[in-house]
């Protein structure tokens, strides 16, 4: 079994992105499954070509996209991606789309096909704050999640797909005004490892039914 896990490069003036910092620290294997890792540019549309190439090359059984959600205090397992780009800040190429579709003529939204509530339960049972989120935003994270699920649907793949948002790292939060919530890198890595475990376990259970 192969699981592709991706994180983004730093954006918004930050020098680090906890998403990819955690992804790159994941084990090479989890419960016997091969873990493939990739860093995605924080640019509208640009990551789609890279992601589609990885899907074609490796044909993973599941894809877990990971991104930073500064201001959130918990691991957020996303339920839905919507067909809109609406940026409050520029991406890393200076793009600031407003009310623009991710895919012209595409469905209004796609739901994640990962076992999101099982993931949340598994992570919570380890003592890590985690919840289902009903909004992946309208920035590059939502853009990539939508494009992933659209690619899977239009190419009639059996691949599972979804997205997890993670909080700031403590050093990031300390550099910002106010009281921005944060989470240690070690805890984020643990949460992602647990999420992947649940994806594999649920996949194996479904496959044997």
Give the span between the Cα atoms of 56 and 100, in whole angstroms: 27
Look up residue 140 and give its two tokens. 């590059």
In sequence order, the β-bridge partners of residue 164 are 66, 77
Check 78, 122, 150, 198 and give the catalytic one: 78
Given the residues 122, 130, 165, 198, select the one marked as catalytic.
Answer: 165
- 165 tagged catalytic: yes
- Cβ atoms within 10 Å, residue 28: 8
* DSSP symbol at 138: S
Angle at which helices 116-125 and 185-208 pack, to 10 degrees? 130
Q: Which of 140, 198, 202, 196 is nearest to 4 (CA)?
A: 196
In angstroms, the CA 128 to CA 126 distance is: 6
Q: Which of 21, 122, 130, 141 is catalytic?
A: 141
Instruction: Report the C-alpha dihedral over residues 112, 75, 85, 93, rounded to 10 degrees.
Output: -120
* Catalytic residue status for 122: no
78 is catalytic: yes
Q: Using CA atoms, how far apart are residues 61 and 160, in angstroms rounded to an integer? A: 6
Question: Which residues are known to be catalytic?
Answer: 78, 141, 165
């Amino acid at each position: 079994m192969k699981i592709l896990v991706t994180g983004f490069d730093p954006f918004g003036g930050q020098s680090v992105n906890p998403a990819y910092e955690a992804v790159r620290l994941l084990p090479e294997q989890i419960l016997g499954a091969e873990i493939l890792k990739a860093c995605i540019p924080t640019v509208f549309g640009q990551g789609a070509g890279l992601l589609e190439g990885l899907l074609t090359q490796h044909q993973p059984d599941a894809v877990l996209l990971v991104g930073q959600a500064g201001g959130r205090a918990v691991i957020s397992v996303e339920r839905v991606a919507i067909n809109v780009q609406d940026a409050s800040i520029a991406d890393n190429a200076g793009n600031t789309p407003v009310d623009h579709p991710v895919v012209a003529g595409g469905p209004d939204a796609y739901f994640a096909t990962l076992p999101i509530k099982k993931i949340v339960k598994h992570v919570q049972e380890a003592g890590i704050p985690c919840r289902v989120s009903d909004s992946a935003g309208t920035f590059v994270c939502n853009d990539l999640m939508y494009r992933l699920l659209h690619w899977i649907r239009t190419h009639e793949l059996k691949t599972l797909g979804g997205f997890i948002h993670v909080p700031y790292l403590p050093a990031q939060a300390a550099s910002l005004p106010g009281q921005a919530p944060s989470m240690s890198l070690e805890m984020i890595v643990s949460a992602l490892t647990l999420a992947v475990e649940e994806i594999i376990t649920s996949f194996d259970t479904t496959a044997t039914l």
